[in-house]
Amino acid sequence: MYLDSQARVLYVGKAKNLKKRIWSYFKIVGDQVLPNPKVGVRIRQMISQIHAIQYHTTTSEEEALLLENALIKKHQPKYNILLKDDKTYPYVCINLHAPYPTLALKREIAPEMLCFGPFSSGAKELLESVLEFLPLVQSLVCLRGKRACVFYEMKRCCAPCEGKISPQEYGGFVKQALKLLEDKSQLLRLIKQRMQTLALQERFEQAIIYKERYQKIQALLERSQMPAEQNALGLQNLLGLAKVPYRIEVFDVSHHAKSHCVGGMVVFDRGEWIKSAYRRYALKAQEEYTQMQEMLERRVKSNKPKMPDLWLIDGGKAQVQLAKRVLSQAGWGVVAVGIAKAKIKGRTQRSQGDVPDTLYTDQQTLHLDSTDTNLQFLQRLRDEAHRYALSYHHQRQLKAAFKPTS
């Protein structure tokens, strides 16, 4: 962040190479720091007002994207053009409650939407690729017509507008689309195969289009760089733990109007997601508190996976006390921590301003700045548990929605 003499934020930006990014603005001549001759008038004006520079490190490009968005919304910097209003980075979304769900790019997320993202780039290419490989409805406009459109003639839509496919059959394509969005490496393999086929047919211009699309989607697969030792030691110091929390189990529940209630547990150990240790739970309880209780009690009754060093619960003081009681009854020497995300009308406000997440332990409540690396680390863990639980919830929704009727 560039600040003026009164500590007002002039500009917020992100970069993989911060040194290179900063020096793209400046040029040193003798003992003077001057604007880079290549920058425009607007940037020169900004540089003349810079009095100080602040920076924050994040554990991944995705976190940097979210933090940049939040800081711009909060400070409304004079020299930031993008993201100052209510707009945010786009998501690829689908409403699974619709008879024929349609994929679309959205900046505003409705509660009933299942969303993937956000994406600073590549969202359009991702959406276009999925729609090209699967015959889904290409646009909501298509459903308003009574006759099949050109997409049906191109074999890129199955024409539900003419009743050529049942909701149950269509649901099969929806499931495949969700798998491609969750596992982009599978989508990349399909794009690469198409690209190679076009090259063999000497259709090089089309092959180049697929090559560029491949490169943009591949950039989305950049894996989070979570320095295991640094994160674990940081948490130990923050929470005053006797043991370094290398292995962390994270819990979240998901439901819609108390239906299809599920829970998800993800495991993070020494810098890696241990997918083989993930667990999902179909829950009978109706209230979130008792849903969490049911999931935690089922977890401690299982001998696998192995006991963690820390539990992270999506919830506040009540959930932490619940977790402590379950752990005590099981004889587990594991510490429980809660993270509560701010909600307005039931929706998390991560993309609209500073992130007011609060941490809860058995003895204290911690209000950390959104730039705190410990908070960012725990948010990443919480978000993965939320994604996993929500994914299972939508699977159960799909199964129920597209279940054949006798």
Q: DSSP labels for 317-357?
A: HHHHHHHHHHHHHHT---EEEEEE--EETTEE-TTSSS---
Same domain, residue pair 8 and 130: no
% of the chain beyond a pLDDT of 70? 88
pTM for this prediction: 0.56
What is the per-residue pLDDT for 376? 85
- Look at 79-93, 156-170, 275-289, 371-385 and tell me which has the smallest mean pLDDT: 79-93
Least confident of 13-17, 193-197, 224-228: 224-228
Q: How many CA atoms lie within 13 A of 60 on its CB side?
A: 18
The answer on 190 and 136 residing in a single domain is yes
Angle between helices 204-220 and 123-133 (to 10 degrees): 120
- Count of domains in the chain? 3
Q: What is the pLDDT of residue 133?
A: 93
Q: Is residue 84 part of a domain?
A: no
Structure tokens at 290: 């008792």
Check if the beta carbon of residue 335 is closer than 8 Å to that of residue 312: no
Q: Name the more confident of 171 and 393.
A: 171
Residue 145 binned pLDDT confidence (cut-offs 50, 70, 90):
low
| 129 and 40 assigned to the same domain | no
Asked if 303 and 383 sit in the same domain, the reply is yes
Task: Please check the confidence at residue 351 and state whether its pLDDT lies above 70.
Answer: no
Lowest mean pLDDT among 32-41, 97-106, 159-168: 32-41
User: What pLDDT, on the 0 to 100 scale, is given for residue 353?
Assistant: 45
Q: Which of 27-31, 56-60, 345-349 has the highest mean pLDDT?
A: 27-31
List, in order, residues 6 or more apart from 318 with CB less than 8 Å away: 289
Residue, of 219 and 317, whose pLDDT is higher: 317
Q: Say what the pLDDT of residue 226 is.
A: 57
**Structural domain ending residue among the three candidates 169, 189, 220:** 220
Other Cβ atoms less than 10 A from the Cβ of 104: the count is 18
Residue 316 lies in a domain: yes
CB 181 within 8 A of CB 104: no
Per DSSP bridges, beta strands 259-269 and 247-256 are antiparallel
Which of 139 and 384 is assigned the larger pLDDT?
A: 384
pLDDT score of 127: 93
Is residue 264 predicted with pLDDT exceeding 60? yes
pLDDT tens profile 62-100: 677 778 877 887 788 888 765 554 456 788 888 888 889
Residue type, 337: V
Are residues 63 and 112 part of one domain?
Answer: no
> Looking at the domain assignment, is residue 80 inside a domain?
no
Single-letter amino acid code for the residue at 109: I
Q: Do 233 and 194 fall into the same domain?
A: no
Which amino acid appears at position 82 of this protein? L
247 & 390 share domain: yes
pLDDT at 156: 86
Would you say residue 268 lies in a domain?
Answer: yes
Q: Look at residue 13 and tell me whether its pLDDT is greater than 50.
A: yes
- Mean pLDDT, to the nearest integer, of 360-373? 88
Q: Are residues 47 and 96 in the same domain?
A: no
Flag whether pLDDT at 298 surpasses 70: yes
CATH, residue 290: 3.30.420.340
pLDDT of 354 > 80? The answer is: no
Task: Tell me the average pLDDT across 210-218.
Answer: 90
Residue-wise DSSP of 214-233: HHHHHHHTPPP---HHHHHH
More confident residue, 182 or 385: 385
**Does residue 86 lie in a domain region?**
no
Residue 404 — pLDDT band, cuts 50, 70, 90?
A: low
Q: How confident is the model at residue 352 (pLDDT cuts 50, 70, 90)?
A: very low
pLDDT surpassing 80 at residue 273: yes
Rounded to the nearest integer, the mean pLDDT of the chain is: 84
203/253 same-domain check: no
Residue 85 within a domain? no
Question: Which of 90-99, 106-115, 178-187 is predicted least confidently?
Answer: 106-115
220, 247, 277 — which closes off a domain? 220
Residue 43 — very low, low, confident or very high, per pLDDT cuts 50/70/90? confident
With respect to residue 305, please indicate whether it lies within any of the assigned structural domains.
yes
11 in any annotated domain: yes
> Residue 244 — very low, low, confident or very high, per pLDDT cuts 50/70/90?
very high
Measured between alpha carbons, how far is 167 from 165 in angstroms, rounded to an integer? 7
Check pLDDT > 70 for residue 135: yes
Residue 223: pLDDT over 50: no
Among 75, 104, 126, the domain boundary falls at 75
Number of H helices, E strands in the chain: 13, 18
The region of weakest confidence among 97-111, 139-153, 264-278, 355-369 is: 139-153
339, 274: one domain:
yes
Whether residues 347 and 364 fall in one domain: yes
Domain range holding 52? 2-75
Task: Output the pLDDT for position 245.
Answer: 95
Q: What's the confidence (pLDDT) of residue 10? A: 92
Higher per-residue confidence, 87 vs 301: 301
Same domain? For 247 and 309 the reply is yes
